[in-house]
Amino acid sequence: MEASLSFHRHHPAASSSSTAAHHAARLTPPPPRDPRAAARWVTPAAAAARSRSPANLGLPPHPPRRLRLAPPRVTAAVTGGPRRPRRRAPPPVECAGGSSSSLRRPREEEEEEEERSSTAHAGVSLVGQADRQKLLKQKGCVVWITGLSGSGKSTLACTLDRELHTRGKLSYVLDGDNLRHGLNKDLGFKAEDRAENIRRVGEVAKLFADAGLVCIASFISPYRRDRESCRALLSDGSFIEVFLNMPLELCESRDPKGLYKLARAGKIKGFTGIDDPYEPPLNSEIEIKEVDGVCPSPSDMAGQVVTYLEEKGFLHD
């Protein structure tokens, strides 16, 4: 007893701590009797310890995250080297030859050249116009028949087609009947529609001629500039213009479709020869007209065209 009193007398801190623990034990409520509640029961000291943050426990703070920076871009100003220019798409240029209105870009020409070179490297040679003409034993061309309505264009085209067929030559007829109901069915008869109609016919006729055929195009084609644009699509004199120079009175007296009668009555506007002009060719290869007031027969007109084709070498290989 004296030793205990002497210890507490000499160590006041121990005395105070034991006294505080004694009072805390007396103030701490006993654990509940229910075993399930006792399992969840936490002493006030443990709850206080849980509520303290790691910073209060004397732990060092988390180190700051180090950011990874991308390496700086080296420019021409830093390195002193030349700066690469930015590539720009080349502007479209107009091709020499062919249609004056067609525009092609150099990139398209490069792609075509690469395709041809790849084909050549593969050991495959393309079939050209000369190969097709040798096979058909003839040269492709376009016989363009122009004139007023009722001048005999369709009759001449059919007769010429039959004459070439009997000679063993391959030909094809293009006229308003087989194009206005298909390829050009979206076009009317205004000036701009007529121009577009002739432009499309010229492009199709060019393809037939490239295939080695004698393409017979039978169209009024009243405007000179449209016919000349079709002529410009072909080369080497393979565009043969046939002008049926028949007077308006003769064409109107025939009137196979009754169009002149409707135009005179005002039911058709812009009809060629009545209220819309026809521009005759200035330098046609063949001109067919009346002889002593008599119109030649269809066979005679077709004979003139065949004779011209033979003289120019279109019907020989």
Residue 273 CB contacts under 8 Å (≥ 6 apart), including other chains: 148, 149, 248, 251, 252, 260
Q: Which of 149, 218, 221, 238 is catalytic?
A: 221
Distance CA 131, CA 170 (A): 15
Distance CA 26, CA 21 (A): 9
Radius of gyration of the chain (CA): 50
Q: Which residue reads 């009317």 in tokens?
A: 188
Q: How many CA atoms lie within 13 A of 304 on its CB side?
A: 18
Residue 221 among the catalytic residues: yes
In the sheet with 141-146, reading across from the earlier edge strand, the strands are 171-175, 214-218, 141-146, 239-245, 286-289
How distant, in Å, are the alpha carbons of 254, 279, 286, 296 from that of 242?
Answer: 20, 14, 5, 14
Q: Which residues are catalytic?
A: 221
